[in-house]
Every structure is written in structure tokens, then in C-alpha cells.
Chains A and B, each alone.
Chain A
Amino acid sequence: MVAQLTSGERQLALVVLIALALVGLAMGVVGRADPIGVHGLIVLVLSVGLTFLVLSSLYAPEPSAERLSQYYDDPSKVGIILAIVWGIIGMAMGVWVAALLAWPDLTFDAGWASFGRLRPVHTSGVIFGFGGNALIATSFHVLQRTSRARLAGQFSPWFVLLGYNLFCIIAAAGYFMGVTQSKEYAEPEWYADIWLVIVWVTYFLLYIRTLARRKEPHIYVANWYYMAFILVVAVLHIVNNLAVPVSLGHAKSYSAFSGVQDAMTQWWYGHNAVAFFLTAGFLGMMYYYLPKRAGRPIFSYRLSIISFWGITFMYMWAGSHHLHYTALPEWVQTLGMTFSLVLLVPSWASAGNALATLNGAWHKVRDDATLRFMMAAAVFYGLATFEGSFLAIRQVNSLSHYTDWTVGHVHAGALGWVALITFGSIYSVVPWLWKRERMYSAALVEVHFWLAIAGTVVYVFAMWNSGIIQGLMWRTYNESGTLTYSFIDSVVAMHPYYIARAFGGLLFLLGILVCAYNIWMTIRMAPAVQPTSTADLPEPRQIPVSPAPAE
């Protein structure tokens, strides 16, 4: 793959990697008494390893100019594989921590193996590792096709993809060592956060530069969502992670905000990480792969516009519904609840638009598990957004908050919507990227579909039950006017549901293992004899037509 880079790009890669290795070395030396030193060592080893990879092909011949008349898909291929690897790690970790809640002694007597440190490995592993890689990989693919232009440059896509994975590795390795800001879904410490900003700015510039090359005057709706994802995540990430480190040799930092302001900032971030990482980005996926696979145009342009701007505007107000009845001023709570309710309109406009697009292709949904993945994702998206608006109502929230109902809701979205749309997109894009006629086994896609659906349903039902029982037990009064149940009574009542939840998660994990095998075998299959479609090429860069010679 290095051979595909021009010699200028190889030299640039070398410079960046050596600089990174030096940063790693400095972190290792300055922070030798602290976990940041271990992180420095990881950075050093990874960048030296990649340096050797680049060096091995440094003097390979220049790539042929023909590559410029094709799309640049190597980063997308690697991104898809990384997404699956992180998915397996994150989901396996999820099953383990779920089992720990049912059988707490199922672990080692060591800090790294305790629930509190493993849980963020699960959440970051699936959200950032699996979801993030899938978003980056598909965004490169979709961006090029909908712009009919090749990515701007060959170095920056690799910098974005591999730099992002370095962030994920630093994050996960840090959790095992107890390096965390204790801000949900923003756990990585200050230096990882700074690195992500650098990667993210490069991502944005790459996106906008490629869009500038587009041969299509209009920007396609999938790109609206990918752009909102890139931009808003940047804003959220920077503001919520403002902090003062103890010193350059310490992993630990202290958040710039405290108390009520910190709580509001955190949930403004947390809820919009759901909105712009887990919703907007994946809607971008849906708006491209679902109509492509169904062979039908998007049902309504007008609905696309309403839902896009509705989501972009209203989600940002909704975060305070995580803080009902707390010390947050009530006016903010009320605003959060109101916008959460109205948010149902653009959310259902999106889900409805996707389902209506399938009109005329329902026979394909029946026969093609890949398309069915995406259909089910749209249904779960509709369900989860309805549930979200419902849970944001103060009186409902008084029961559901702090219980497993929240966990069930999150997984209805994360498993039912995010993971299903991702699997549907991956099963579509893998044969296209690797120029295979189809996936290795349609039957295995079918098996995966049912494992995923069964896992999601078992999980979500278990958490609905446990959450509602928990919430009710906490507020039950007996005839003498005192609380009926002690807290531990509610813990005991959860036990069967925690087992069911771990089982549901296990089914889902088996599904992704089947998926990984299927992808592996597809890559090993012989390439399609004929290129699947001659149309999968960028428009040639415009060469001014020379006027016909005068007679």
C-alpha cells in the first residue's frame, strides 16, 4: 500500500512518523513515573513500526498515473477491517462486563480487570472503535462516489484513519491503567484529546477539499450528514474536554468546569455525541447504502431537508433532559424536555423517508438480508427516537433515570440502529471495495441477521424489565408510609435480567464473529472476472476542450 503513495507522500509520511516517535519518546521520558509514560512507549513503538513499513518501500517506483483515474479505496478497506476488529473487542468486553454484573467474582484480583476500568473499554470500543472506523471508512467511499471525484491526496486519508486508531488505542490502553477523565463518553485524557483534534481537523480539510473537486453541482444528502458529524463532533469535543493538566508528565488533568456547569456541558456533549456521532454519521450511511442496495431513489427530498435541519438545530437543546430534578436550574430542564419532544418530528421524518424509499423493493427486503439489516435499522431508529422523546418527559424520567431502562434505551439505539445500519452498509460495500461479485455466503449474512435481531430483542427486553422494576421498587411505599424496599432488594431483583442481558449480548457478539468470517472469506475469493460495474470510476478531471481548428 505504501507503494501507492508518491515519493513526496512517502517522505511526508516519514517526517510525520519520526516526529510522532519523538513525541512518544518525550512522553516516555518526562512521564516515566506515570501512566503517560506507558502511553508514550505505545506511541513510540507504533510509529517506529510504521516507519519501517514506509522505509521498506521508500524507493519503490512511482505509482502509475493511471491511479488518478480511479477512486482511492485502500483506506476504506483497512477502515472496514479495523471496524470489525474493534467491534469484536468492544462487544466481547461488553459481554464480560455484563457477566460481571451477574457474577461479580468472574474476574482477576487486579485493577485492570475490574468492572469500572473495563466498562469504558466496552463503550469506547464499540462507539469509537467500531462506529468511528465504520464512519470514516464509509465516508471516504460515499464522498468519492457522490462527488464523482477521487479523494484529495493519498497521505491525509491514512493520517486520518491511522491517527484516529492511535487515539482509540491510547484510550483503551489508558482505561486498563485507570487513566480517565470520568466524563462519560469523553474519558480519554488531555493529550489524547489534543491528538484527536489534530486528526479531526485533517479529516475536515480532506472532506472539504474533496467536495471542492466534485463534478456534481449539488452536495448529496449523505454528505450533509457526514459534514454535520465531522463539524459538530469537533465543537463538542473541544468544549467538553477543556482541562488543565497537572503537568506535562502527568496523564491526569482537572476539568475547566465544575459542578452544575460541568454537568450541563457534559450532557450537552453526551447527548450530542449520540446525535452527531451515533445518529448523523450513520444517517449519512443510510442515505447512501439503503437506496443503492434497494435500487430506489430516496422517497422525498423535502423530508430529507426537514429532518436534516431539524436534527442539526434541535438536538443541541436536548442534553439537559439527562438532568431532570437535579440541581440544574429548572428552566434549562424544561427547555431540554421541550426540544426532546419536538425532536421526534425530524427523527421520524428520517426513519419514514428510509422506509418509504423501500416501497417497490419489499421483495428485495424479503430475499436480501443485507437490505433487511438496513430496513430493521430504520425501524429501530424510529423506535429508539420515540423512546428517547418519551424518556425525556420529566415525570417519566423520574422513574426511568438512574435505572437499567436508560441502558436498554441506549442499546436499542446502539445495537438496533447503529450496528444494524453498519452491518447492512458493510455487507454492501465489501464486495464493491474488493471487486467481488457478492459476499462469500448469503446464508451467513442471514444467520448474522437473526443473531443480531435476537440479541437486540433479548437485551432490550431484559433491560426494560429490570429498569422498570428497579424504578418502581425504589419508590414503593408500604402502608405505614415508609419505603418498602432497601436498595439491595432491588439489586437482588435484577439478577435474572442481568443474566438475560449477558446472553443477549453474547448472541450479538456471535453475529459479528460470523460477519468477520464472511468478510475474510469474501476477501479470499477470486475477484469478479468482469469489473462489477464500469461506472464505478470518477469523472476524469476536466480538460478544457480545445476549439476546433479553423478551417
Chain B
Amino acid sequence: MPEFHRKIERSAIGFVLAIVVVSSIGGFIEIAPLFTIDETVEAAPDMRVYTPLEVAGRNIYLREGCYACHSQMIRTLRDEVERYGPYSLAVESKYDHPMLWGSKRTGPDLARIGGKYSDAWHVAHLFNPRDVVPESVMPKYGWLQRNTVRTDDLGEHLAAMRAVGVPYTDEMIANAGNDAFGQASPDSSFAAGVSERYGEATQVRMFDGNPEQVTEMDALVAYLQIIGRLTDVAHKQAALAQEGAK
């Protein structure tokens, strides 16, 4: 072996090529099949895309680095399922560019947070977590209530997401700004279009309790309330498994 190696380490180009070949094998074998094997991602025909307001909220979640302390991936372990809910399926993050599975739980997992608490609870909690949970070490996010959410460019955001594979329609892209406003303003004329385009189950309401403006708080709470609820396939599967056990 040393004799052979003495030869290859005399050529810089040869060495470079050897490194590239040897290092590429593992990643190729593990990643490429994930795009081609059908069973990798379950089917969820009822799954909807994020509304423009939820996209804006998700981008705030990214901006503030929430993923550093909260995972969105319930593992297939008994204690996790009992603490958080049915374990996460691959399909549930199908429209997540990027995914937010996370790597650390300084705070609890959020994969099933949607619908667990009221909007008012989230608003109070984000304003000052220690008002709601005295021992919490989460930061305060007071500025979310002060900042108006930017909606004029949401159509471009949806178009970019369509370019990477999220099935937004032309209509959704054209109405993105109005839909974002409408989802947080149930009494406005824009509210009806949201349910029309994203389904009757879409939550159209004043998330932050402030009728004056659509704030970043509206957007973030709208996102938190939809996490884990774009499809109910995970709940269905859990119910089936329970019936099977009986």
C-alpha cells in the first residue's frame, strides 16, 4: 500500500480527482434514492399549501432563528408521541423549503403546536413568555406587534416557491398580497378570497386582536396555528394503528 500511495501522492491532479471520487460515493448513495424511491414520502391528497400570510409568518420564524431551540419532528418513540402527538411523517414537510426539523429542544417540539393553544395565548406568550410560563427562558418578541408585515412582495415569494416545486396557482400568486391582508381581516372584502383559494378550513381571523394593521404577530401566529395541520394524514394513520391494536 505505501508503495502505491507514494506514486499517487506525486501527482496533484491525480490526488484531487481521487479525493473527489472517494468523497462523493457516500452522499450520492444516500441522497439520490430519496428523490426516486416513491415510498420515501407518503401520499396526502388532502394536503394544502401555505397561505401567503402563513408564508410570511414562516419567514418570521426563520428570521428570528426559532429553529435553533424548537424542533418540528416528533420521533417514533413512545414518550415523544405521548408528549407531542402522532409522530411526524415525511409528507408533512413536503412544502417546507427549507425543512425545519431542527436539532435541539431548548423549548418543546412544535410539530403539533397548531390548534393546541388559543391565538391570545400565543400573542401573550410571544410578547413576554414569562407572563404565561414564569420559568420560561424564551426571548421576548415585542417588536412583532409593532411591525407591519410586508405584503406587497408576497406574490414574488409564492412564485419563487413555485419554482422549487410548491403547487401555487397563477391566481394565488396574483392575489397573494390581498389574501395575506384578508386572512387577518375577517370583516374585509378580501377575506372571502382566502377561503375560496385555500379551502373552507383555512383560519381567517384577527390573530393578534388588533384591527388597525396586519402585524408580524398576525403572520407568525397564523403560521404557528397551521403547523402540523396542512394535512391530517398523521392523525389518520395513528387512529388506524390504534384500531389495529384493538
Contact = CB atoms under 8 A, between A and B. Distances in A.
B103 interface: yes
Contacts of B156: 246-247, 250
B29 to A, nearest CB: 8
A516 to B, nearest CB: 28
Nearest to A35: B63
28 contacts: A104-B138, A109-B140, A115-B69, A116-B65, A116-B139, A224-B19, A227-B15, A228-B19, A235-B23, A244-B160, A246-B153, A247-B153, A247-B160, A252-B157, A258-B93, A262-B96, A262-B98, A263-B93, A302-B1, A305-B1, A315-B26, A317-B27, A318-B26, A327-B87, A477-B79, A487-B107, A491-B106, A492-B135
Contact of A260 (B71, B90, B140): B90
Which of A111, A180, A184, A309 has the most chain B CB atoms closer than 10 A to its own CB? A111
Closest 3 CB pairs of A and B: A116-B65, A316-B26, A178-B63
Interface in A55-98: none
Given A252-B157, A263-B99, 17 more contacts: A104-B129, A104-B137, A116-B139, A117-B65, A211-B12, A212-B12, A218-B6, A219-B10, A227-B15, A246-B157, A254-B97, A259-B91, A259-B99, A305-B2, A315-B23, A401-B75, A401-B103
Contacts of B106: 101, 491
A483 B165 CA distance: 40
B23 A228 contact: yes
A313 B23 contact: yes
A305 B2 CA distance: 8
A276 B19 CA distance: 12
A370 interface: no
A215 to B, nearest CB: 13
Interface residues of B, number: 89
Contacts of B140: 104-105, 109, 114
Contacts of A111: 64, 143
Nearest to A114: B139
A327 B24 CA distance: 24
B2 A301 contact: yes
A18 interface: no
Contacts of A115: 65, 68-69, 139
B116 interface: no
Interface in B58-74: 59, 62-69, 71, 73
Given A258-B94, A313-B23, A491 B37 contact: no
Interface of A: 100-102, 104-105, 107, 109-111, 114-117, 119-120, 178-184, 208, 211-212, 217-219, 224, 227-228, 231-232, 235, 239, 243-247, 250, 252-266, 268, 272, 276, 301-302, 305, 309, 312-320, 322-329, 332, 335-336, 339, 398, 401-403, 406-407, 474-475, 477, 482-483, 487-488, 491-492, 498
B96 A258 contact: yes
Nearest to A475: B79
Contacts of B133: 488
Nearest to A329: B40
B20 A235 contact: yes
Given A107-B139, A119-B68, A180 B62 contact: yes
Nearest to B79: A475
B245 interface: no
Contacts of A180: 62-63, 65
Given A101-B137, A268-B30, A326-B73, A258 B12 contact: no
Nearest to B108: A487
A231 B98 contact: no
A268 B31 contact: yes
Interface in B73-92: 73, 75-77, 79-80, 82-83, 87-92
A181 B143 contact: no
Contacts of B89: 327
B62 A260 contact: no
B90 A327 contact: yes
A231 B163 contact: no
Given A104-B138, A258-B98, A116 B64 contact: yes
